Amino acid sequence: MFIGKSLTNIRVLNDLSRNQLAEKLGVTEQAIWQYENGYMSPKLEVVNKLKTIFNVKSSYFYNSDLVSKADLTNINVENIAYRSEAINSLNKTQSELMHIRFIDVFLKKVEEKIAYPKNYLVGLRNDIISFIKENSEMDRDIQIKNIAKIARIRIGLDEDSNKNLLFLLEKAGAFVLEKEISNTIDAYSLWTEDDRPYIMLGSLKKSAVRRNFDLAHELGHLLLHYKVEFLRQDKKSYKTLEDEANLFASEFLLPEKQFKEDCKGIAKVSNPDAYIDIKQKWQVSLQAIAIRAFRLEIIDYQQYRYFFMSINRKGYKFQEPLDNEIPIEHPMKIKSILQLLFDKNIYSVSGLMDELKVDISFFSDLTGIEENFFYNHRKQETKRFSVSELGLKNVK
């Protein structure tokens, strides 16, 4: 029997409306509604189109999917913190919620035989909650400044470098993924109800330095805004939350004492090119450096304005010096988990494909891991028999 809920979930996962899917299939929107609500089953030719669109097997739609069997209360859509220019549409929010639900259930399935080390981000978050309660009369900006200092030490960053930021976040307990989200969403993050922190990085073509700021911004949300209902915020309140995460990221990535020392030898503080060495050292954009310098009163308002006029004139708003030279780090934690499982023969790519009724492209889209990783492991599953193993004997 065709299971409409499996179609609904994978349609939402792929950010398609019923009307958009209907156009791809050459059917009516009403037909999609009927498929999903059990009033009609699609013809075989429609099912074949569905499996191609969603990178799954035909049998996928005749079985309950991963999410249908899961505890959906583990992830709350209200708690998704977007790094975005605007509060996002309901459709996009539901799509990203579905993605996190799929990856969360998938990981819990494959990691049953893995013993994770202690999640240090949970402890850090709880300590910060205690710090805020104990210092409730402290100015909020001062609170954030102190929290950024604490976080930098606990995450394990060097005093004079942001090297390996992504690796250290994953090591501390974050599950970081990457995908092309949309033109207006840079990243988002959330805590699950069972205390798992997720960070989704969007805009895959971003430079390493801008991605570092996204990571720090989302870490700020995870530590400062636990249990905040983002979707219930008005624009003013939402902007306040974003400003706080930006302040955290700035304090976290450019520690005041070291940054001021770095800026001492700069002759023309309004010239963006004068900060290239600082960008190289901290792997933070020139624009973020200028904002930090202005906030610390290293440059005044007129110098700050001239700095950004120069940014626009030089074309640095879209691409800065060193953007093509500083390597972009990619998440490795989930890939390493799967690598371990495949190497130990706990799971196989083919076994997961058969069990979940999906193709390799589905795994790649879900995890953000390149398809070749899965193809290569699948190739290694092929048994190459020797003559002795086949029991063949020489002919006399």
Q: Is the pLDDT of residue 120 over 80?
A: yes
4/59 same-domain check: yes
92/153 same-domain check: yes
Q: What is the pLDDT of residue 78?
A: 86
Q: Where does the pLDDT of residue 60 fall: very low under 50, low under 70, confident under 90, or very high at 90 and above?
A: very high
Range of the domain at 78: 69-253
Tens digits of residue pLDDT in 296-319:
999 999 999 999 999 999 999 999
118/150 same-domain check: yes
Let me know if residue 309 belongs to a domain. no
Q: What is the pLDDT of residue 115?
A: 83
Let me know if residue 326 belongs to a domain. no
74/211 same-domain check: yes
Q: Where does the pLDDT of residue 241 fall: very low under 50, low under 70, confident under 90, or very high at 90 and above?
A: very high
Lowest mean pLDDT among 20-29, 39-48, 67-76, 304-313: 67-76
Q: Where does the pLDDT of residue 93 fall: very low under 50, low under 70, confident under 90, or very high at 90 and above?
A: confident
Domain boundary residue, one of 19, 42, 65? 65
**For residues 73-83, average pLDDT:** 84
**For residues 322-336, average pLDDT:** 95
Q: Where does the pLDDT of residue 391 fall: very low under 50, low under 70, confident under 90, or very high at 90 and above?
A: low
State the average pLDDT for the chain: 91
248/385 same-domain check: no
Q: Where does the pLDDT of residue 84 fall: very low under 50, low under 70, confident under 90, or very high at 90 and above?
A: low
211/109 same-domain check: yes
Return the bridge partners of 25, or none. Answer: none
Q: How far apart are CA 8 and CA 67, in angstroms?
A: 11
Tens digits of residue pLDDT in 253-288:
999 999 999 999 898 999 999 999 999 999 999 999
Let me know if residue 151 belongs to a domain. yes
Domain count, the chain: 3
Q: Where does the pLDDT of residue 330 fall: very low under 50, low under 70, confident under 90, or very high at 90 and above?
A: very high
Q: What is the pLDDT of residue 184?
A: 66
Q: How far apart are CA 324 and CA 373, in angstroms?
A: 25
Let me know if residue 286 belongs to a domain. no
In sequence order, which ranges of the chain are alpha helices (DSSP H)? 4-13, 18-25, 29-36, 44-54, 90-110, 120-134, 140-155, 165-172, 208-224, 235-253, 256-263, 276-282, 286-295, 301-314, 333-343, 349-356, 360-367, 371-379, 387-390
Q: Where does the pLDDT of residue 54 fall: very low under 50, low under 70, confident under 90, or very high at 90 and above?
A: very high
233, 232, 290: which is closest to 266 by C-alpha? 290
CB 294 within 8 A of CB 332: no
Which is more confidently placed, 185 or 84? 185
9, 2, 113: which is closest to 69 by C-alpha? 9
Tens digits of residue pLDDT in 9-28:
999 999 999 999 999 999 99
Let me know if residue 39 belongs to a domain. yes
150/221 same-domain check: yes
Instruction: Give kind and range of the element (H or E) at residue 188.
Output: strand 185-191
Q: Where does the pLDDT of residue 237 fall: very low under 50, low under 70, confident under 90, or very high at 90 and above?
A: very high
**For residues 173-202, average pLDDT:** 90
53/191 same-domain check: no
Q: What is the pLDDT of residue 114?
A: 85
101/29 same-domain check: no
162/114 same-domain check: yes
Q: What is the pLDDT of residue 72?
A: 78
155/40 same-domain check: no
55/88 same-domain check: no
Q: How far apart are CA 13 and CA 50, in angstroms?
A: 14
